[in-house]
Amino acid sequence: MNKYESVIIINPNLEGEATKAVVTKISDLINNGGKVVSVEELGNKKLAYEIKKHKEGYYVVFKFEAKPDSITELERVYRITDEIIKFIVIKEEE
């Protein structure tokens, strides 16, 4: 299993419960094929440039361990989840 870090930006217009639901959904998906080490919610921050007509977003950082083939599924779910406006997954160096 490799170590990864993923940052997602969630639509800032969501209610608190909806935001928590997205974070829980992603955590459960990661735990399905790996293990979440930490979840850090950074809150609303101003974006460097406008994304999908949003000037700010709710940032969440996941640190986790997973097999390389499960990253493809994770990114697919990121793309089809309407609440997520931007994401990135980075493999950490050993």
Q: Mean of the pLDDT values across residues 69-81?
A: 91
The reported pLDDT for the residue numbered 1 is: 87
Alpha-carbon distance of 29 to 31, in angstroms, equals 5
Q: Mean of the pLDDT values across residues 25-36?
A: 90
Alpha-carbon distance of 16 to 6, in angstroms, equals 21
φ/ψ of 78, rounded to 5, equals -55, -45
Q: Is the pLDDT of residue 83 over 80?
A: yes
pTM given for the model: 0.89
The reported pLDDT for the residue numbered 33 is: 81
Q: Is the pLDDT of residue 94 over 80?
A: no
pLDDT tens digits for range 33-65: 889 999 999 989 999 999 888 999 999 999 999
Q: What is the gyration radius of the CA atoms in the chain, in angstroms?
A: 13
**Interior CA angle at 15 toward 36 and 51, to 5°?**
80
Q: Is the pLDDT of residue 70 over 80?
A: yes
Q: Which CATH architecture has domain 2-91?
A: 2-Layer Sandwich (3.30)
Domain boundaries, the chain: 2-91
